[in-house]
Amino acid sequence: MDCKLCGLPAAPNLEEDGNAFCCIGCRGVYQHFGHIILSDSATEAHETIVEPEGEEAFLRIDGMHCSSCEILIERLALKTKGIVAAKTSYATATAKITYDPSRVNEADLPEILSRTGYQARFSQDQAPAYDYRMPMLRLVTAESLAATVMMLYLAFYYPVHLGIVDMAELEPVHWLVHKAVPTALLILTSILVFYVAIPIFRGAWIGIRSAVWNMDNLLAIAILAAYGFSIGQFFLGTLELYFDVAATIIAVVTIGRYFEREARENATSALTKIMYEWAPSARVYRDGKLQMLAIDELHPAEHILVYQGELIPADGIIVEGQCAVDESLMTGEPFPITRVTGDRVLGGTRNVEGSLEIEVGHVVASQLNNLARVLWNAQSANAGVLNLGDRVARFFVPVVLLLALAVGLWFYSNGASPGSALLACMATLIVSCPCTFGLAIPLTSAVGLNIALRNGIIIASGDAFEKAKQIHTIAIDKTGILSTANMAVSNVSGPPEVAKYAAAVERLSPHPIAEAIARLDSSCDAQDIKIHAGKGAMAQVKNHRVAVGSKSLFTMLGWKIPEHILAPDSAQAVNSYVGWDGEILGFITTEDQPRPGWQRIVGKLRKQARTVLLTGAESAGDFEDKFDEIFCGIPPEGKAAVIRQLKSEGIVVMIGDGSNDAPSLAEADLGIAFGAPTALAADAADVIIPGDRLDHIFTTFEILQSTRRRIRQNLAWALLYNAIAIPIAVCGLLNPLFAALAMSSSSLLVIWNSSRRLGDFESS
C-alpha cells in the first residue's frame, strides 16, 4: 500500500481510520486536518509549465523603443526554422531564444534577430560603448529648433489666432509675415522631420513591415499629417500652417525618450551587469598549455586559474592560494570575504585580490548561470497586472488609429474645415499614451528587482509582486532556516563499519546531515543509491545493501530497531540509524545549532500572520513553543500537502532552503528559498535570499509590497489619463500642441513614479 497523504510506500502498523501512512509525520498531518486533506482537490498535483525543449541563448537587443517591439522580434524570430520559442523584454532590452542546435547555429542568432531592424548580440559579448553624442545632438537640435519655431508663432501668429492682434496691424511687415517667417518655419521643421525624427520613422517602418502597430506609427502619422498639410498651405499662400504641431511632437518625444533611456538603464543596471557576465571563460591547463575555454567545455574536477580582478567562472574548491572575494552579487554581503585553501567559492563572484587555483566539482556549475536565468525569467514574465498592461498596450494603438480617423471624418462631414478636422484627428492620435502601459509597469518591476539585488535578494518570479498580497500564513522549514544547518557528528555508536558504510552512502546525498556523515570516512564507495526524501537513503556498499536514516525509514522498510541500539531523544540532535542486510547495527548522532536571533524573527512574523513550523525531524525541540502550529516528521510531499490545505484558508508563504522543500515552495502562493538554496529549491521559489540574514525576509516583503503598490499606481494613472484625455481630444477641445505636451508629460510622470525611491530599505 501507498501512503494516503504523500504516495510513498506505507509503513506497517501506521494506520488511522483505515488509511495507511508512510510515517508518523503524515499520520499526524491527517490527525490534524482530517479527511479533507485526502480529498481529490487537496491532493491534486501542482500544475507546472512545460518549457519548450532546446538550447537557450540570451541576447541583448539594441534599438527597442516600445512594447510592440517585443511582438515584432518574437514573431519574426519564430519564422526561422529551428527556433522553437522566442521571448523578449522591452524593459531590459533582452531576448531569450530557445532553438534546436541541429537546425540553427547559435552563432547565427544575432544576425537572424538583427534582420528585424534592431542590433542583436549575445549578452556576454561586450557592447560597444554607447555613443551619447548622437542622441544628445538630436536632443539639442530638437529643443533649439522647436523653441525657435514656437517663438516665431508666438511673435506673429498666436496673437492673431487668439484675437489679441488683428491681421491688418501686421500689414507693415507683410513680407515678413507672409514670406520670410513661413519659409523659416518650413526650413526649421524640415530639419526636425528629416533628421531629429528619424528614430520615430524607423520604428514606424518596422511596425508597418511586420504588421505590428506601435506608438511610432501614431506619432509618424501625426507628424507627417501636420507637416504635409502645412507644406500644401504654404504653397497655396495661406497662413493656416501647423509646423508648430509637428515641431512640438518631435521635440517632446525626443526629450521624453532621452530621459526614458536613462531611467531604464538605472532600473536594470544590476540585471544588465549579470547578463553581461553570464558566460565567462575559464583559464585551464590542457595539453601542456594554458587555454581559455567556455564553461560548457570544462571537465569535472578540472583545475582553473583565476587572477586578480577576474570573475570566478564556476563553483569550486580552492586548492591553492587565497584571495578576497566580492560576493555581493550572490549574497548581498557588501564587503569582500577572505577565502583560503579548502574554501568553496561560487561562480559569479569576483576575485578582487590574489590569485587562485580552483578545482571544479563533479558537476561543472556556476551560480551565475542559474542567477541570470531566474532573473531574466522574472523580468520578462507577464503575469497578473503586468500582463494586463501588456495586452492593453498591444491593442491600444490600432483602436486609437481607427478612432482618430473616425473623429476627423466626423468633423469634416459636419462642416468643419479640412484644417480643423485634421487638428481633431491629430489631437486624438497624439494624446493617446500606450507607452504608459507598455513601459512603466515593467519598468517598475525592474526597479523593484534592481533594489532587491542591491539588498542581496533575488526575485526569481515575475508575478512575485502580485503574490505578495495580504499574507495569512507563513510556513517555515526548521533546518537551514531557524537552525544553521552546519551539522556536525557528535557520536557514532556501533562497529567500525557503521561509519564507513554510512559515509559511503551519504556521500551521494545532498542533505546537510548526509554531508556531515560523509566526512567521517572516505575508504568505501557506494553504488545504486535510492534516496527516500525526508527519511534517508539506501545504497550498495561492497556486498551489502546499506540503509541510513531516521526511524521512519526503517519503519517503512520493516526493520526493527533493537532496544540496546535505540538512541536517546534530544532537542537539538538528530539520530541516523545505520544497518545492512535487514539488520540495524548502530546509529550516528549529528547536532545543529539554532540560528542567532531566530526568536526575534519568528516573534515579528507572528505579528504579521499565523506561523507554522514544518520539519522532517521527528521533534521540534526548543522551537515548539514559538509557533502557532507544528508539523514534525513529515516528508517533502507531506509538507506540500500541508501547504495545499493551508492555502484553502488564505495566502501562504513558504520559507525553505533545500531540495526537500522544493515541492512545498512550488505549492505555496509565495515561495522563499533561503540561505544557500539548492538549484531545485531555487527553481521552485519565487524569491531567493542567499546568505544567513533572516531579517532579509522582512525586507523582501517590503520590496514586493511597495513595488506592487507602485505598479498599481502607474496602471491607475495610465487608465485615468487616457480615459480623460482621449474623450477631450475626440470632442475637438484639445489642440494637438497641448496634446503632445500632455502625452509626453504623462509618460514622464509614470517613468518618474517608477524610478523614485521605494522605501528606506534601499540603503540597507
User: So which residues are the catalytic ones?
Assistant: 477
Q: Per residue in 387-418, is it b (16+ CB within 10 Å) or e — as a string?
A: eebbebbbebbeebbebbeebbeebbeeebee
- Strand bridging mode 629-631 / 610-614: parallel
Query: Hunting for cell 525509514 — which residue is that?
Result: 553
Q: Per residue in 200-222, is it b (16+ CB within 10 Å) or e — as a string?
A: bbebbebbeebebbbbbbbbbbb
d(CA 104, CA 77): 12
d(CA 78, CA 550): 52
d(CA 143, CA 398): 30
Q: How many helices (H) and strands (E) does the chain have?
A: 27, 28
Residues forming a β-bridge with 292? 283
Residue 649: which of 496, 490, 473 has the closest Cα? 473
**3-class secondary structure per residue, 553-568:** HHHHHCCCCCCCCCCC
Write the CB contacts of 671 (distance below 8 Å, at least 6 apart in sequence): 653, 654, 656, 664, 665, 684, 685, 686, 687
Concatenating the DSSP letter of every residue in 31-89 gives: HHHGGGGGSTTTSPPPP-PPPPPSEEEEEEEET--STHHHHHHHHHHTTSTTEEEEEEE
Phi and psi at 193, nearest 5°, equal -70, -45
d(CA 92, CA 89): 6
Concatenating the DSSP letter of every residue in 487-555 gives: -EEEEEES-HHHHHHHHHHHTT--SHHHHHHHTT--S--EEEEEEETTTEEEEEETTEEEEEE-HHHHH
> How many other CB atoms are there within 10 angstroms of residue 102's CB atom?
9
d(CA 516, CA 512): 7
d(CA 622, CA 493): 25
Q: Let me know if 53 is exposed, middle or buried by CB neighbors in 10 A (0-12, 13-18, 19+).
A: exposed
C-beta of residue 155 within 8 angstroms of C-beta of residue 165:
no
End-to-end CA distance of the chain: 53
Which amino acid, one-letter code, is at 632? C
C-alpha cell at 128: 560597444
Phi and psi at 734, nearest 5°, equal -125, 125
C-beta of residue 754 within 8 angstroms of C-beta of residue 710:
yes
C-beta of residue 678 within 8 angstroms of C-beta of residue 656:
no
C-beta of residue 268 within 8 angstroms of C-beta of residue 446:
yes
Angle, in degrees to the nearest 10, between helices 215-236 and 181-191: 150
d(CA 552, CA 615): 13
Residue 348: which of 464, 507, 458, 461 has the closest Cα? 458
State whether the Cα torsion 244-250-253-256 is positive or negative.
Answer: negative
Phi and psi at 473, nearest 5°, equal -135, 135
Write the CB contacts of 55 (distance below 8 Å, at least 6 apart in sequence): 98, 99, 100, 101, 106
